[in-house]
Structure 1
């Protein structure tokens, strides 16, 4: 009888453990579901989304003559805000520099980075990217009088980069023998080239096309230093809720042709003959 009683007691304890475990798993699953749903809910509750943008990088993000944020990415950010919160004015724009985009996400200063951020393997270790909206390659901007025709001509010369850009990362990693002149902002970097503090300014070609068009006496060297890479919004590592929402939003905008509308409005004139077809720079859908 004692053995039977002991056996039944052990069996009861085992059943309680199994049920408790199942309950814990269900509770954990429910918490995880709530966690996945909570970030969008949190944005809606505060009725505001904070987006990191550039203020000195036309035609993508800049301050216009009225003192207002303007550009391709600004318009895209406003549309995202409108579709998420019902009013494009419910966005708080946070000016960022290339080097502080990731720290701003990691420290929750912004919900989303929409500031010409090229997707790289190194950056993917620190943040998560949504599907892209543009593709870009690194090229050289030089004065018209320069005889530089390729990266091989930079040996023994100083090269200007903006801190934290893919150009900065590319040269630091692949060409440690080339001396870099580093600046925080695009405007500072371009001014350094004007002042002959370096033989070339290296950055995303989409930016350089506009600088060359707007400023007589400068040209973009034809050579692409790397294969084209995607530019995409970035979210804090693990924020699948916002990442998924943005991907679904981009899918909808692509079906509307909205990105091509923004291209015509902000990029077509800026790129001129450097871009023959919008499909050469606009990405609609996942990166292939």
Structure 2
């Protein structure tokens, strides 16, 4: 789960210095009060033109969208057997490009680690980050989030056949007899014990190692992000099951640079109409492909989001 993988980056002194410098420049400009050389105020049309210069106009003039994303985290962003970049985040980025240029291929992907998401926006290396980014109040001080497109959480994966426990209720009833595996993390025991207070916890160097331990029946269940669980269950039908309980919810959204409401509003319009309107079929197909989820068709009539 991304929720805490780079929380420390939001407090990076270098980023804070950069942001303070940016604010200082902005305040200096405001202090000048629009005074040009010779003490003359800038004409009102020039001020309006500068204020209207949005990332939306920059991207349209450039002719392609530049997106920050990753390449190693299925089902969000990863390379398929042919080496092509695919995943839910990639589908969303291509939908943005299609909505801009009527061509989903007019997008350039900048592959980056999770710790580069905020810096790449601040420095204008990318136009938008579409990279399973958890919405947090700390990050929202440095970037602007779009409306969420997924609600993540953690869950417990069991073997479908021959497992000692069949579901979450049986795991909880077994108390300290249960061993739950998960990726090594300082929060691992805390997270597991939120759902199973008495369970033993076994830490592994990677989610893959935890799944290997589950396959070998060295643990009773593997704690995974729910999106990863859905992906794994699709890749190996009939081998794994969801224990039926999820917890620790967090929202995934895209992020743009602060201070550009025109660009943010446009991206939000695309996402909203993908979830509720003209591009629903495209969005629903992605959900089905990557998560195995059949989204209900939005009701016709009064918009339900305002009901």
TM superposition score normalised by structure 1: 0.65
Give the conservation status (yes or no) of the 8 Å contact 2:68–2:112.
yes
Change in CA separation of 1:261 and 1:204 when aligned onto 2, cut-off 3 Å:
same
The superposition leaves residues 255-288 of structure 1 with CA deviations (integer Å, 9 ceiling, x where unpaired) of 6442343323x3325544xx464479xxx99899
Residue 109 of structure 1, aligned match among 115, 125, 139: 125
Q: Does 1:230 align with 2:247?
A: no
Q: Which residue of 2 aligns with 1:17?
A: none
Q: Which residue of 1 aligns with 2:55?
A: 39
Indicate the structure with greater helix content: 1
Which deviates more, 154-163 or 82-91?
154-163
Aligned length: 256
Q: How far apart in 2 are the matches of 1:106 and 1:162? A: 31
Q: Give the superposed CA RMSD.
A: 4.7
Give the conservation status (yes or no) of the 8 Å contact 1:138–1:203.
yes
Give the conservation status (yes or no) of the 8 Å contact 1:161–1:201.
no
Change in CA separation of 1:285 and 1:32 when aligned onto 2, cut-off 3 Å:
farther
Q: Which residue of 2 aligns with 1:95?
A: 111
Change in CA separation of 1:37 and 1:286 when aligned onto 2, cut-off 3 Å:
farther
TM superposition score normalised by structure 2: 0.61
Q: Does 1:149 align with 2:168?
A: yes
Alignment of 1:126-145 (within 5 A): 126-144=142-160, 145=163
Give the conservation status (yes or no) of the 8 Å contact 1:112–1:233.
yes
Give the conservation status (yes or no) of the 8 Å contact 1:140–1:200.
yes
Structure of greater relative contact order (alpha carbons < 8 Å, 6+ residues apart):
1
Q: Where in structure 1 are there 5+ consecutive unaligned residues? A: 1-20
Alignment of 1:1-288 (within 5 A): 24=35, 27=42, 31=47, 34-144=50-160, 145=163, 147=165, 149=168, 159-161=181-183, 171=191, 181=203, 188-195=206-213, 201-215=222-236, 217-227=239-249, 229-254=250-275, 256-264=277-285, 266-268=286-288, 270-272=290-292, 275=293, 277-278=295-296
Following superposition, the deviation at residue 252 of structure 1 comes to: 4.3
Indicate the structure with greater strand content: 2
Which deviates more, 252-261 or 118-127?
252-261
Helix, strand or coil: the match of 1:67?
A: coil
Give the conservation status (yes or no) of the 8 Å contact 1:136–1:231.
yes
Q: How far apart in 2 are the matches of 1:51 and 1:250? A: 15
Q: Where in structure 2 are there 5+ consecutive unaligned residues? A: 1-31
